[in-house]
A and B are shown apart, each in its own frame.
Chain A
Amino acid sequence: MAETLRRVRLPRPLPGRLGVTTATAVLASAVLACLLAPVLWPLDQSAVDLARIRLAPSWAHPAGTDDLGRDVAHRTLYGLRVSLLVGAVAALVATMIGGIVGGIAGTLGGPVDRILMRIVDTVAALPHLLLGIFIVAMLRPGLGAVILSVGLTHWLSTARIVRSELLSLCTRPFIDAAISGGAGRLRVLTRHLLPHVLPKLALATTLMVPHAVWHETALSFLGLGLPPHLASLGNMINDGQGSLLTGAWWASLMPGLVIVIVTLALAAIVARWRDRLDPRVRAELQL
């Protein structure tokens, strides 16, 4: 019955060609801006300018300044830089944990598979944010804790993908052929299975980046993420919360908008990519 009960289809957007092009352009320019930021617009993370606190958006400060007189647009760029970097590394950690667990479960099968999948179900039943908070608290808030917190809470989908991919590959004739051809387990794994699983892993990592960014942002917003003086999107929204009540709504507007735009762009690209991998989307007409 478990299968019947877990038959949950996820809703997903199907962006048009124009949407994907726009999304790619937005994302590419965001990444480029992040890469070039230290060269073109260096930022002193600890600088404050108390003469210019809570200035409304203007030409000099397109997104205004915060309650320490720091330029919001400038810091948002660095916040995105930090968040994307942390998100990407954390997504990679999550994918590695998931890939290892799913790989072991999928190739060994039997009781090992059952136990590992039971663990996957266990972690899936836990509230992720609470678990993430717990992990960060026990490790002391900081960069490493945030990355581990994401990694330890976000590996489940990758583990499931890799496992089911391996299980379905193992029923395919070319694997049988390789094994009966005398190939060892390791050789089958590296030469025949890995090339098929790697694209899925890459997809899983990409899919994970926005989730990782979100998790980091949420932790930072709660004051449990990156060090408070560091410009990160979550920290900035958290800082902006105080300014908001004094009427300076712009302090947390731009970092939030950036999260929304980057998430949408990533989602659009990933959705199209997923459809390319999966040709079953073709219309199923019963003629």
Chain B
Amino acid sequence: MSRRASVRRRVLAGAGPVIRRRLLVAVPVLIATSIGMFLLGAASPIDPAKQYAGAAAFTATEENLDQIRANWGVDDPLPVQYARWVGNLLRGDLGWSTSRHEPVTAVLGARAGWTLLLVSTALVVVLLSSLVLGTLAAYRRGGLLDRGLRAAAYAVEAMPVFWLGLAGIALFALTLGWLPAGGLTEVTATTTSAADVAWHLILPVGVLAISQAPWFLLFVRDSVAESLRDDHVLAARARGLPGGTVLFGHALRTALLPFLTLIGTHLPELVGGAVLVETVFSLPGLGAVTVQAALGTDFPLLAAITLVTTAVVLSANLLTDLAYTAADPRVRLDG
């Protein structure tokens, strides 16, 4: 059997258990999350009928409000309400957004793509830059680049992303006038062109990436610096392998395995950062509607956003686990 084939065999052998184990976690997580959110929603002191009626609630008769409550079934026992809600979710009916007065699916459909674009672009930028810079810093440990990067990383780590965003606007949009201060397209634009969007995304993506970079950068730097003293890396050097082969073929491969996990565990934070960045830059993603929904106690929309995001995070975790299994032949055994 060729080496490639044997590697493929290993990966496939590892994938099954990983998927099974992840699903074993993911399904209870989603159920638990939905129950938790539902209970919080039920415990909320806010009357959904009055909420829906808005200012009209003051003039509406008690019968009218009761009629609304009956229509929504809010007086049914909680398990019945929960079952109805989950049943609807599973059928693809995410409910009616009370804050935006349209179906939740419509809100998600129009906006989730932009958030996904922001998060994934920022993630790619973070990964590439922290891999390159972190490795360079580790390779010249104690050098100017290393010390400068670490100082910058600790400083940025202490800056709230929304403040960083405002600083970015103040500097690049208002003072220098290089980049637009917010929005997704020019105000005058009538159509959405890719170039225009990309132009408007430079600052938000940059801010989100920079705010998330310290973790990844410091992790890569420490991890690679440590692995350069690992037995197998010293042994590779002792065999007279060139520096590049030692670094890429022996040090990075093992040093960066835990990095895959870090991506997974850090995604929730990236999502939170995206909400704030979207708010700062008035981007039409999920961030702004989340805030709007929260102010309007829009349970269906908030619950859907949280559940969908959780599902996306869980699938990303599954992907990183699969990548880990593919990259590390040892994982298969201690499974």
Query: What is A's interface to B at a CB cutoff of 8 Å?
Result: 1-11, 13, 118-119, 121-122, 124-131, 133-141, 214, 217-218, 221-224, 237, 240-241, 244-245, 247, 249, 252, 256, 259-261, 263-264, 267
Contact = CB atoms under 8 A, between A and B. Distances in A.
B163 A259 contact: yes
A217 B160 contact: yes
A245 B282 CA distance: 13
A222 B291 contact: yes
B32 A119 contact: yes
Nearest to A264: B158
A256 B275 contact: no
B223 interface: yes
A46 B67 CA distance: 42
Contacts of B33: 122, 126
Interface of B: 18, 21, 25, 28-29, 32-33, 37, 40-41, 43-46, 150, 153-155, 157-160, 162-163, 166-167, 169-170, 174, 181, 214-215, 218-219, 221-223, 258, 261-262, 265, 267-269, 271-273, 275-276, 279-280, 290-291, 293-295, 297-299, 302-303, 305-306, 309-310, 313-314, 317, 321, 324, 328, 330-331, 334-335
Given A126-B33, A136-B294, A218-B276, 17 more contacts: A1-B331, A11-B222, A13-B150, A118-B28, A124-B265, A125-B317, A137-B293, A137-B297, A140-B297, A221-B276, A222-B291, A224-B291, A244-B174, A249-B170, A256-B159, A261-B158, A263-B157
Given A237-B163, A244-B166, A249-B170, A130 B331 contact: no
B334 A122 contact: no
Chain B contact residues: helix, strand, loop or mixed: helix
A30 to B, nearest CB: 14
A130 B154 contact: no
Nearest to B171: A249
Contact of A138 (B157, B166, B299, B314): B299
A252 to B, nearest CB: 5
20 contacts: A2-B21, A10-B219, A11-B219, A122-B28, A125-B268, A126-B310, A126-B313, A130-B305, A133-B294, A138-B40, A138-B43, A138-B46, A139-B44, A140-B44, A141-B294, A218-B162, A221-B162, A237-B163, A245-B181, A261-B158
Contacts of B218: 11
B166 A131 contact: no
Given A126-B33, A252-B163, A4 B169 contact: no
A2 B258 CA distance: 12
Contacts of A118: 25, 28
Contacts of B157: 263, 267
A161 B318 CA distance: 26
B309 A134 contact: no
B43 A8 contact: no
Contacts of B331: 1, 4-5
B268 A134 contact: no
B160 A259 contact: yes
B155 A264 contact: yes
A81 B212 CA distance: 27
Contacts of B306: 126-127, 130-131, 134
